[in-house]
Amino acid sequence: MPSSNLMPPALVSVDLGNSVLEAFAVIAKGHEEDAELTRREVSVPHAFVELNNGMWKQAKMSAKLNRSRSIQTHTFMLQIGKKKTYVTIGRGVMRSRDNRPLLGSNKYFAGGVDALLCAILSEVFPKSEYPKGHNNILLSYGIPPTEWQQVDTLDDFLFRRHKIEDPDGKKRSFYIRKAVSYDESVAGLIYAVSTDGERRGGKFTEKKFKASNRVLILDAGGRLGSMGWATIDNDGFPIVDYGGFKPIDGGSITIREDVRGALKAMYPKELRGMTDTDMDDEWIDDIIRNKRMILNGNVDDPIDVTDTVNSALGYIALVRDRYKNDFGSGRQASHVLLTGGTIAQIYDDLCDELNHNSIVTAADLKNIWYANVRGGLLILVSALRDINLFPAVFKKNFYLGE
């Protein structure tokens, strides 16, 4: 495509995770060096429904009737060569019986990982602002350290023009002009190093990251996590021991399922008539963090559910076993780095189990979901600078911000 037809560039870092699709983007509003930059941090719940012809026709009919769509939900037809794939991705189909999340390496097929990418890009570039999509995207995409064998496959699926059609018949496309991959765990550590991390004052030491430090990383995802070593080199960059990374089954999704089930079993009378929708994720997360259950608005006399919650936190036991049996309880670690969205849910419990003198979160807990994609954007910027492709529009006022 001639450069004169290109839109102002956008730097986008994505994590097509098992629980949530996330993106961090810095978007230029012009080509000049002093052009306005827009910073966006967005997410879409990872729910995936492949539509048959009848379901697609129903979606088209709903569009004609101007029925409002659910937030964080995207329905479209993705065309790859002559193949057409119809999907709905996001919050609106989380409870659908047809929801089949693309977990782990099962997402790496045409019409899978590229559909997830188009869904999160549709959140970054909403139709109201970008009715035809965007044709100048510089992308970094995260991969768990246990799935690096998929890098070449991902390049084939992501590094191209993605054409989609909405149920209302309007067509959009997303053109990935350059794509680089990044290790999610490394990205979390890079972001922590760049911001000095967030340490709990009074309980843990305030040691800085230094060259030769060994860092034990726990990346706790929605359904699958990992633990492994990295060493800080003289330039402040993490060198990862990929062969030593160990998977940890479970995460925020399975934790919620386990706790929700335990509460139903232990308090059938108190919770009678309440559906899983009533016991939503936010409510369950508050119970996990605070070990108390508030019913009937009775905030002054909540039910103590400490024993019930603790008995359901099998994920903590899995982390503990990995930590002790495969990583020597972190004795050789200068720091233990916690990253991934699950950390916010079980932070206090994890700290008690890990019992280390320098536990660092990749970002403050309210932003921990985005630590990896923020680090991924830093990796993208570095890669573009190395090959002289970093757009001039970002050189004067690029920043991540908070």
Per-residue pLDDT tens over the stretch 11-60: 999 998 878 899 999 999 887 777 889 999 999 999 999 999 999 999 99
pLDDT above 90: percentage of residues in the chain: 53
3-184+372-394 homologous superfamily: ATPase, nucleotide binding domain (3.30.420.40)
- Selection from 132, 141, 182, 185 nearest residue 159 by Cα: 141
pLDDT of residue 127 exceeding 70, the answer is yes
- Could you tell me the pLDDT band of residue 400, with boundaries at 50, 70 and 90? low
| 229: CB partners within 8 A, 6+ apart | 214, 215, 216, 217, 240, 241, 244, 327, 333
Q: Where are the alpha helices (DSSP H) in 125-202?
A: 151-158, 184-195
Provide the pLDDT for residue 190. 87
Tens of pLDDT along 212-233?
999 999 999 887 888 999 999 8
Burial of 282 (0-12, 13-18, 19+ CB in 10 A): exposed
Q: Which helix (H) or strand (E) holds 265?
A: helix 252-266
Question: CB count, 10 Å around CB of 188?
Answer: 32
Q: For the segment 365-392, what is each residue's pLDDT rounded down to a tens digit?
A: 888 888 999 999 999 999 999 999 999 8
Residue 327 has pLDDT above 90, yes or no: yes
Q: What average pLDDT does the chain have?
A: 88
Determine what percent of the chain falls in helix, strand and coil, rounding each to the nearest 5.
Answer: 35, 25, 35
Same CATH topology for 3-184+372-394 and 198-361?
yes
- First-to-last CA distance in the chain? 35
Radius of gyration of the chain (CA): 22
The number of residues in the chain equals 402
On whether the CB atoms of residues 158 and 117 are closer than 8 A, the answer is yes
**What CA–CA distances, in Å, run from 373 to 111, 143, 187, 298, 341?**
23, 11, 7, 39, 11
| pLDDT surpasses 70 at 398 | no
- pLDDT at res. 287: 93
Distances (CA, A) of 336 to 47, 102, 133, 217: 31, 30, 41, 6
Find out if CATH 3.30.420.40 is the number for domain 198-361.
yes
The C-alpha atoms of residue 199 and residue 362 are separated, in whole angstroms, by 9
Residue 335: strand, helix, or coil: strand
Going by pLDDT thresholds of 50, 70 and 90, the confidence category of residue 159 is confident
Q: How far apart are CA 389 and CA 69, in angstroms?
A: 38
106-110, 181-185, 276-280, 395-399, range with the lowest pLDDT: 395-399
Q: Supply the pLDDT for residue 202.
A: 33
Q: How far apart are CA 14 and CA 56, in angstroms?
A: 27
198 residue type, one letter: E
61-112 pLDDT tens trace: 888 776 656 788 999 999 888 889 999 999 888 878 899 988 878 888 889 9
Q: Any idea where the domains of the chain sit in the sequence? A: 3-184+372-394, 198-361
Percentage of the chain surpassing pLDDT 70? 94
The strand order across the sheet containing 20-28 reads 37-45, 20-28, 10-16, 133-143, 171-183, 161-165, 73-80, 83-90, 48-50
